[in-house]
Amino acid sequence: MKRAIYPGSFDPVTLGHLNIIKRAAAMFDELIVCVSVNSSKSAGLFTPEERVELIRKVTEDIPNVRVDCSRELLAAYAKRNRARVLVKGLRAVSDYEAEIQMAMVNAKLYPKLDTIFLYTSPKYAYLSST
């Protein structure tokens, strides 16, 4: 089974996120959308549990999507869930610069883990959770 993880804060989930979810779900047998909780960041608009529920509602028609929440390092989460691919959405070159560094760290922590980057659809390129 090809399993991938699409991690993020999703505070709140946007149409851009949903676009990436739908496209990634078409590529894998299972896509885990993981609400990553970073204790060093501010609490945000929604609690992690509320974000999970919102994502579940907007993805209920996509049968191979599972929604979860994690406070652990992403590489450890991926290993525990036997996922070998992370999906990251990119809106701009500046997103790529930060994401490539994280991909290299995750690959160092879990060498079997690859990261793929999906560009956002142009109509969502200027949409941000913040």
Is 9 within 8 Å of 44 (Cβ atoms)? yes
Of 3, 79, 91, 121, the active-site residue reads 91
Q: Kindly name the residue from 2, 41, 71, 112 that is annotated as catalytic.
A: 41
Element containing residue 52 per DSSP (H, E) = helix 48-59
Told to judge if 91 belongs to the known catalytic residues of this protein, a careful annotator would answer: yes
Whether 129 sits among the annotated catalytic residues: the reply is yes
Closest CA to 27 of 48, 12, 6: 6
Of 17, 36, 51, 88, the active-site residue reads 17
Catalytic residue chosen out of the listed positions 3, 56, 66, 129: 129
Catalytic annotation, residues: 17, 41, 91, 129
